[in-house]
Amino acid sequence: MAETTLDVRHLTKQEAYATLEEQLDSILDGIDDPIACMATISCVLAQGFGHLWSGFYRVVAPSLLRVGPYQGTLGCLEIAFGRGVCGTAAAERRTVVVTDVHAFAGHIACDSRSRSEIVVPVFDADDRLVAVLDLDSVEPSTFDDEDARALERIVARFRRTRQAGPYER
Ligand code: SME
């Protein structure tokens, strides 16, 4: 594999995501191991954007998320569905964009420098929630609809995989 990670911070969001999506398609072509995909996506997003935290929480039991592959400062180990931004996205099976974490009741501050956040649900081939993708930024209002749509496209590859439970429907 001749790929090296790319820093896309000098590009527009549209160009940045197009670049990283193309790179991920190339690197992960034929790879359906979800952990390998999660680790690679975390790496490419972290190196590309330099956010404080980029990674996954996996569904490991009914209504329970546990930290998965990530890059960044130490993440909390487990999050119950309904708690924090990650738990809200998991419980509601929808992307949650938080422009100011201080204004989000119940936000879990794993790193006090976090100011804004996006969490995207990850589904498998059977439409089961298997994880959430979480990006945290030290700047307020980092993420918007453009990030949401792009990150949803990036995690759509997990729709091609089936995982050995447990699952949350
Ligand atoms: N802030 C998240 C918790 C995860 S970490 O920040 C890595 C939340 O409120 O769900």
pLDDT (tens digit per residue) in 82-134: 999 999 999 999 999 999 999 998 888 888 999 999 999 999 999 999 999 99
Q: Tell how far the Cα of 128 is from the centroid of ligand 1, in angstroms.
A: 21
**Predicted pLDDT of residue 35:** 94
Banded pLDDT at 147 (limits 50, 70, 90): very high
Q: If DSSP codes are grouped into helix, strand and coil, which group holds residue 98? A: strand
**Predicted pLDDT of residue 169:** 46
Banded pLDDT at 51 (limits 50, 70, 90): very high
Locate the ligand 1 atom nearest the alpha carbon of residue 57 and give its number: 4
State which of 73, 79, 97 you would mutate to test the pocket of ligand 1, scoring each by most atoms of that ligand within 8 A of its C-beta. 79
Work out the percent of the chain whose per-residue pLDDT is above 70: 94
| Ligand 1 pocket, residue 114 CB under 6 Å | yes
* Mutual angle of helices 145-155 and 34-49, in 10-degree steps: 150
Cis-peptide into 69, omega within 30 deg:
no
**Predicted pLDDT of residue 75:** 93
| Ligand 1 pocket, residue 70 CB under 6 Å | no
**Predicted pLDDT of residue 161:** 76
**Predicted pLDDT of residue 2:** 56
**Predicted pLDDT of residue 165:** 55
18 C-beta neighbours (distance < 10 Å), count: 14
User: Whole-number mean pLDDT of the chain?
Assistant: 93
Global confidence as pTM: 0.94
Asked if pLDDT for residue 28 goes beyond 70, the answer is yes
Banded pLDDT at 3 (limits 50, 70, 90): confident
| Ligand 1 pocket, residue 116 CB under 6 Å | no
Q: Tell how far the Cα of 133 is from the centroid of ligand 1, in angstroms.
A: 10
Structure tokens at 156: 């759509």
| Ordered alpha helix ranges (H), 50-98 | 84-92
Q: What CA–CA distance (Å, rounded) separates 149 from 28?
A: 20
Q: What CA–CA distance (Å, rounded) separates 128 from 96?
A: 18
Cβ within 8 Å of residue 92, ≥6 positions away: none
Work out the percent of the chain whose per-residue pLDDT is above 90: 88
